Structure 1
Amino acid sequence: MAQGALILNGKALAKLLRRKIKEHIAKAVSDGNRPPGLGVILVGDNPASKSYVATKEKMARAVGMASEQISLPDSATQREVRDKIEELNAKSEIDGILLQLPLPQHLSADELLCCISPQKDSDGLHPLNQGRLMVGADGVRPCTPMGVMKLVDLAYSGAPLDEIKDIDEIKAADLAGKRSIVIGRSALVGKPVALMLLERNATVTIAHSKTADLPDRVSEADIVVSAVGRPFMIKGEWIKEGATVIDVGINRIESGALVGDVDFEAAKERAGAITPVPGGVGPMTVAMLLFNTFSNYRRNCLKNGGDGG
């Protein structure tokens, strides 16, 4: 039996990443450059979306970014949202654009995401950036999958997080020979996580609702990533001794508690490392949004002499 799993504290890891981003921004501004700019478009009054946007803007300002929010009513048309995206595309002081999802049902998210400049895509959801991931080219990567990979790196680093003072101490893990299973095949998480694991030389299985013998598949995996949105779907006894378990799922159960796809209490008795829910992948997703925005800024502004857009 695993001697107590390492709990992968995404909140603490995200704090390290934000600290590094803040240091880089402070240096750029002290050198006479403008700060990075994040533009956020919120359509409608969805309380969860408003809360998420407020958190993202607060985090952006905390690391030294400028933040601009455009709020539109539920009744906004496709054209009206597209026009606002184009306004942000045209602003040289904006380096990252976030279209908060989900959108009202009458709007096409796919079409609107395509309107965001690939150079200002902070979520990594533009088809061009998704295609660049597919072929292994440089590009903006999706936030949640990047957060997943950084948590995997932490698991394989062998160092307790409270002993790590700089996120650069956590190196990219070589996963050659490691069997990985990704449960979920969405374009937002499942598929890009699988591709990123492949980039690290892992042997990857993608599972989904039609997969036969899921318990057997999971029990073979050194790395388990679950992103299906079903509470406690992954049973603790399925987990291989010493495996790394990354739970992307976040589900609210009848009691009002937030839980993951994995039976955490049972799984942590077998896993070598595991993320909690909440406090695991979620904080890393927001931190990676800031990372992408800063990366766009570094590429679009700093390499253009500090005045660019």
Structure 2
Amino acid sequence: MLRLSKASLKAIVLSSSGISSRIRQHVALEVSKLSRPPHLAVLLVGSRPDSLSYIHHKKKAAKECGIHFELIHLSESISQAALHQELSEVGNNPAIDGVLLQLPLPKHLHVTSSLFHIHPNKDVDGLHLINSGNLFLRDRVSLTDFLGSQFSEQIMDDSLLEDTITSTGCGCFVPLTRRSHEDNYFVPCTALSVRSILLFYLYKEKKISPFVSGTPMCNLHVVIVSKSMVVGIPTAALLQKEGFIVSICDRNNSLDDIQRIMKTGDIVITAYGQAEIFDADFFKKGAVIIDVGINELLDEKNGNVNLLSTRRKICGDVNLKSVLEVASAISPTPGGVGPLTVAYLMQNILKASCLRDRDGVFMNNIYSSFLKMYETDDTSNPNITLLSPHQSLMEINRQGENVDNSNFEF
């Protein structure tokens, strides 16, 4: 379960270690039933210390879940065309189920065009436009289902595993038709983690159930301090679907404006990217805070920032000590969103293994269409066998041959 602990009778500190452990156990159990373990390929460009650290945690979790982990380490000076070719080759490898491009990339590389070259059915980070676009559909039918054949199966709800919420008495997953479309594409793992932590807290402490229509969630104002496609945008989309009022700001706004907006939030989610920049003055009394930021404070002894230093301090955007007397609950960094994000990544890899056997050929059609629609200056294309595309997709291809993708930034 998600652990709730009182911090000196002040704010409740939310730790995701319990629920993340249970998700990993569930993934490991399901993997053990497969004829072969799922295969994850992680492409790393360069050797950023923080990226190496994140990859280490993913590799450790994959081993625990019985998932085969492969690191493809590429030169920091790799060209855009060469990176596209690497991604296409990995995507075409039938032995690989999930592909993850470790971000950030070196400045000379274009993130969006690189993500286009990850096959949507292997995009376990959920950053390809085919996957991220599904977040904004209001009809609860996935884009792939709308364009292709229909699937009637229900998703097994992966956001809440607490016995009291699932109401099965054994902590099992509960079929929820209201999120059935999420079974057919990938949602960014951090957004899934934020939603799980928030809904658990609201149910456990406030008795607000996300599974009952007409709940007070429609009256709660969420402020998200991030507009990234990894955290801010997908989290906003998920929470809007749950009925929350959502406002978004980021570093492009002045700190004064950010403070003014944050003070109105019943729930504040931060991924600003600056160590402990937000203190009690940024939050209203009783706010629920979910700190997604991952930052380092300078080594107090020698002033160096070094991921290998034993004196480093990992922290979030929020000054934890400052807000304990203001917030009603806080999910801090470290120990909050991070472990659950990795657990959801493992679950996405398991999902990828299942999706590839179900509708992979049709996804190839959409994949090919996107590459043509947003073609870059290289000539690398996936070496895949396609069925005859639907007429609508052929029309999209013809109209999109000269589309400039330079404005599509993450």
Work out whether the TM-score is over 0.5: yes
Could you tell me how far 1:281 is from its partner in structure 2?
A: 1.6
* CA-to-aligned-CA distance 1:192-250 (integer Å, 9 cap, x gap): 11111101100111123426644343233221101111223322144333322100112
How far apart are the structure 1 equivalents of 2:95 and 2:268? 40
Q: Could you tell me which of 44, 47, 67 is aligned with 2:46?
A: 44
Matched with 2:195 is 149
Residues 1-309 of structure 1: matches in 2 within 5 Å? 3-26=9-32, 28-29=33-34, 33-136=35-138, 137=142, 138=181, 139-158=185-204, 175-209=217-251, 210=253, 213-254=257-298, 255=300, 256-301=312-357
Change (3 A) 1:239 1:124: same
Could you tell me how far 1:300 is from its partner in structure 2?
A: 2.1
How far apart are the structure 1 equivalents of 2:233 and 2:82? 31
C-alpha contact (below 8 Å) 1:231/1:261 kept by paired residues: yes
Could you tell me how far 1:63 is from its partner in structure 2?
A: 0.2
Change (3 A) 1:267 1:181: same
TM-score (norm 1): 0.85
Could you tell me how far 1:84 is from its partner in structure 2?
A: 2.0
Higher relative contact order (CA 8 A, sep 6+): 1
State the aligned residue count: 290
SS class of match (1:81)? helix
Matched with 2:396 is none
Change (3 A) 1:276 1:91: same
Gaps of 5+ in 2: 1-6, 143-180, 301-311, 361-383, 385-410
Letter in 1 for 2:102: Q
Could you tell me how far 1:5 is from its partner in structure 2?
A: 2.0
SS class of match (2:318)? coil
Change (3 A) 1:263 1:252: same
How far apart are the structure 2 equivalents of 1:171 and 1:73? 46
Provide the identity percentage. Answer: 33
TM-score (norm 2): 0.65
C-alpha contact (below 8 Å) 2:210/2:242 kept by paired residues: no
Could you tell me how far 1:179 is from its partner in structure 2?
A: 1.2
Matched with 1:164 is none
C-alpha contact (below 8 Å) 1:155/1:244 kept by paired residues: no
- Higher mean Cα deviation, 284-293 or 113-122? 284-293
How far apart are the structure 1 equivalents of 2:126 and 2:17? 21
Change (3 A) 1:158 1:140: same
SS class of match (1:42)? strand
CA RMSD of aligned residues (A): 2.5
* CA-to-aligned-CA distance 1:87-110 (integer Å, 9 cap, x gap): 221222322100111222322221
Matched with 1:163 is none
How far apart are the structure 1 equivalents of 2:295 and 2:356? 38
Change (3 A) 1:52 1:277: same
Could you tell me how far 1:171 is from its partner in structure 2?
A: 6.8
